[in-house]
Structure 1
Amino acid sequence: MDIDRSHVVVVGAGPGLGAGIARRFAREGFDLTLVARTAGTLDPLAGELRGAGAQVRTVTADVADPATLATALAPVAAAAPGVVVHNVGLVVGDDLLVDPPEHFAHALAVDVVGAVAVAQLFTPAMRAAGEGTFLVTGGGPALHPDRAHASLTLGKAALRNAVALLHEQLAEDGVHAAGVTVVGVVEPGTALDPDRIAEAYWELHAQPRGSWTADTVVDGS
């Protein structure tokens, strides 16, 4: 089975880091599928990229709902894209001892289970082809727990371990799975400018087989 080496899917293609990742791969001539919960999030970025000459498809889907996510992304997965980036996180202030368990269950569905669902949708074609790249956006709370962002701390810690498992398991089939751990607040014009961080994703994708790493930390401090 072949994959489309010049097709990248960006799940969580918002105006910040998702846009930077999309622009970086577009500069390399990739066709793009952008995924977000609402068309209002997708349309401005899609318009920008199309104006620069990129081929862009948009899909609205919620990673917290695996069943509808699978339905929405099934046609995209059938096209066997060679690169998939999962760039999703629920960033809210909360308290481990105050907020209800349902809140944390939802946060974990967004931050962790969604990434697993996306991996299960897209990596079978990569494994069959013996190549491909699956990248995930992590976060600083996985390294430095933040009591003011308890759900994000739990989610990013679990996600980091999920990526470690994916890295080991998928490498056996020739697929590179890795994470980018972003420490700090993503903001244009700073050390954590989205376009700067996006270079880490391209560098992971471009790593030669045999030199694959599981994680890159981009620290804005």
Structure 2
Amino acid sequence: MPGAVIIGAGPGIGQAVARRFAREGLPIALIARGGRTLRAVAGAVAAHGVPIVTLQADSTDRAELDAALDQAIGEHGVPEVAVYNAALVRADELGELSVRDHMEAWAVNVVGALNAAARLAPAMATRGSGTFLVTGGMPEPKPQYVSLSLGKAGVRTLVALLDQQYRSSGVHVASVTVDGPVAPGTDFDPDDIAEHYWQLHTQPRHLWDREALHAGRS
């Protein structure tokens, strides 16, 4: 049974999204750089009793990411939904970072999502269905977070490009824009945020949104 692939399966949004989809009975493939992180998230998801595969890969290494995605497809088939949740979040102001540091942030925040989509979206399009979601943020750029502001603007453009290319083939591409610091028990509780991913995935095609904004609890 096709399931969900979570790239950047960390202890916050990644884990919450994995649990949300597992609650609906979808097999889960978790991708992250660290083995300890993967084991912790897999343990949190296991209570739902769905098949889980954990795959170690750096989202900025295209060969590693492709290999992990291919293994996920081998285990569960072309996913119903893929979530790109990897991000490099740090405070930096104008002129603080080197070119290398900016490229590192861009590689995590944008290029990893692009490469994941390049591997998965064509297969979803061939099948005629699928959802590709990216965790966004910074609806308004902040001068205290230059590299992240640029990266999240890049995510918004990438989602628009993918939507133009794949919507007609039945692939729903969208972002979940989180406008605040994620922490349990706050207005930005990861479990509340995870609900947006499920709602986007289950939207009727004629109502597809390209972005969901989480600005706190209503």
Fold in common (TM above 0.5):
yes
Shift of residue 73 of structure 1? 2.4
Moved >4 Å (runs of 4+): none
- Further displaced range: 62-71 or 185-194: 62-71
What CA distance in whole angstroms lies between the structure 2 residues aligned with 1:71 and 1:148?
36
Across the aligned residues of Structure 1 and Structure 2, the Cα RMSD in angstroms comes to 1.3
Unaligned 5+ segments in structure 2 are none
After TM superposition, give the deviation of residue 197 of structure 1 in Å. Answer: 0.5
Distance 1:44 1:72 in 2: 18
* Deviation digits for residues 145-184 of structure 1 (CA, Å, limit 9, x no counterpart): 1112111011001111111111222101111011100000
Tell me the residue number matched to 1:125.
Answer: 123
Equivalent AA in structure 1 for residue 173 of structure 2: A
Runs of 5+ in structure 1 lacking a partner?
none
Q: What is the alpha-carbon distance in structure 1 between the residues aligned to residue 61 and residue 88 of structure 2? A: 14
1:210 is paired with a residue of what secondary structure? helix
* Mean CA deviation greater in 62-71 or 157-166: 62-71
Q: CA deviation at 1:62?
A: 0.6
Hey, what does 1:178 align to over in structure 2?
174
Among residues 83, 88, 107, which one is paired with 1:85 in the alignment? 83
The answer as to 2:204 corresponding to 1:216 is no
Match in the other structure for 1:97: 95
Counterpart Cα distance in 2 of 1:112 and 1:161: 10
Partner of 1:192: 188
CA distance in structure 2 between the partners assigned to 1:167 and 1:131 by the alignment? 13
* Percent identity between the two aligned chains: 46
TM-score of the aligned structures, taking structure 1 as reference length = 0.93
Structure 2: how far apart are the matches of 1:67 and 1:55?
25
Measured after TM superposition, the shift of residue 34 of structure 1 is 0.5
The answer on whether the counterparts of 1:12 and 1:18 sit within 8 Å (CA) in structure 2 is yes
Structure 1 CA distance for aligned equivalents of residues 95 and 192 of structure 2: 36
Q: State the TM-score, normalized to the length of structure 2.
A: 0.95
Per-residue deviation, residues 11-31 of structure 1 (Å, max 9, x unmatched): 011000111101110110111
**What residue identity is the alignment partner of 1:100?**
S
